[in-house]
């Protein structure tokens, strides 16, 4: 004889117990995050984009059942954002033109409901806000979606006040990875961080005209695996090429210096950032019990952010 199924009251009681357990763990996680902030010191970098990407990949890889994976990512992005704010002030600047896609909404999805986000009517406004320290991060349209004068040539300079690309959005699209909405990159004065599955951006200034095929061959010989390129002529004497390459590209990557030293056609070259490859539709698909990828051993997140809820606009 089978046992009687649990009553509705019993099921609700179990859910209440689970809610209490989740709440207890959040409070415990907060205590640990505060201890980590103390251990890091006052001048520590509060953003860890590579680690955050690894955490989300681990959770998505171990998830089973019908609860949507994009929502799992959304929950953890809120958690990460709150803990980032506990470590110091954190604010965003987003490209939000009156006649185009408002990227502040994309920023809100990724950086949390409490992060202050100021909208700017121009890409240059976002770049200035990050360069001047008014915002920790800036959200700009993908270079491929530039209209008119592109923003990315402004990254072609050296120095600590030069922003770099550190992430690509959305990382876990709420439409299940189909990416039907706007896409963007995140820039910051903080250095990009390797996640294990990354792409990088390189800007190359050539001293003579060169076809895309010849440029790709030149870069391949220098050790770069090129995904795509785009060019912008800054007057008759200067042409810049933005190159997306496979793998992580650090600011001090030795291949960049070697390219300038050894290739006579290259006047200057700059490593201008890297980002974790976003989760795909396959990554975000529902996995039933006993199926799918094995659980990753990557440890849980210890860093993260948030800030006072506010969204302003600057023209």
What pLDDT sits at residue 179? Answer: 66
Average pLDDT rounded to a whole number, residues 44-59: 88
Q: Give tens-digit pLDDT for 75-85.
A: 999 999 998 88
Segments in the chain forming alpha helices (H): 8-40, 49-62, 69-86, 104-111, 123-131, 212-221, 254-262
Average pLDDT rounded to a whole number, residues 134-162: 87
What pLDDT sits at residue 314? Answer: 53
| pLDDT bucket at 303, cuts 50 / 70 / 90 | very low
Query: Could you tell me where in the chain the CATH 3.40.190.10 domains are found?
Result: 45-197+277-314
| pLDDT, averaged across the chain | 87
CATH of the domain spanning 198-274: 3.30.70.260
Query: Could you tell me where in the chain the CATH 3.30.70.260 domains are found?
Result: 198-274
**What is the domain class of 45-197+277-314 according to CATH?**
alpha beta
What pLDDT sits at residue 29? Answer: 92
For residues 278 and 173, give the distance between their C-alpha atoms in angstroms, rounded to a whole number.
Answer: 9
Closest listed residue to residue 274, CA positions, set 155, 136, 177, 106: 155
The pTM score is 0.86
What pLDDT sits at residue 304? Answer: 41
Closest listed residue to residue 60, CA positions, set 180, 177, 186, 192: 177
């Amino acid at each position: 004889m089978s046992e009687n199924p649990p009553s509705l009251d019993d099921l609700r009681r179990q859910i209440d117990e689970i809610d209490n357990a989740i709440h207890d763990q959040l409070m415990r996680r907060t205590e640990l995050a505060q201890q980590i902030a103390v251990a890091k010191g006052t001048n520590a970098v509060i953003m860890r984009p590579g680690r955050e990407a690894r955490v989300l990949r681990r959770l998505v890889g171990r998830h089973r059942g019908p609860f949507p994976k994009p929502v799992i990512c959304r929950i953890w992005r809120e958690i990460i954002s709150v803990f980032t704010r506990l470590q110091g002030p954190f604010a965003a600047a987003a490209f939000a033109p009156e006649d185009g896609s408002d990227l502040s909404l994309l920023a809100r999805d990724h950086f949390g409901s409490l992060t202050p986000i100021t909208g700017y009517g121009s890409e240059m406004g976002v770049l200035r806000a990050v360069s001047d320290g008014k915002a920790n991060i800036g959200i700009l349209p993908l270079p491929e979606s530039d209209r008119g004068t592109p923003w990315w040539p402004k990254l072609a300079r050296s120095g600590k006040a030069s922003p770099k690309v550190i992430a690509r959005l959305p990382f876990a699209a709420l439409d299940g990875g189909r990416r039907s909405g706007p896409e963007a990159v995140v820039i910051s004065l903080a250095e990009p961080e390797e996640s294990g599955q990354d792409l990088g951006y390189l800007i190359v200034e050539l001293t003579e005209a060169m076809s895309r095929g010849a440029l790709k061959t030149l870069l391949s010989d220098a050790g770069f695996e090129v995904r795509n390129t785009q060019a912008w002529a800054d007057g008759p004497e200067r042409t810049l090429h933005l190159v997306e390459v496979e793998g992580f590209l650090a600011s001090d990557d030795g291949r960049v210096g070697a390219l300038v030293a050894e290739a006579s056609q290259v006047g200057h070259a700059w490593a201008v950032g890297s980002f974790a490859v976003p989760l795909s539709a396959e990554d975000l698909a529902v996995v039933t019990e006993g199926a799918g990828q094995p659980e990753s051993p990557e440890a849980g997140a210890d860093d993260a952010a948030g800030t006072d809820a506010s969204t302003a606009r600057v023209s």
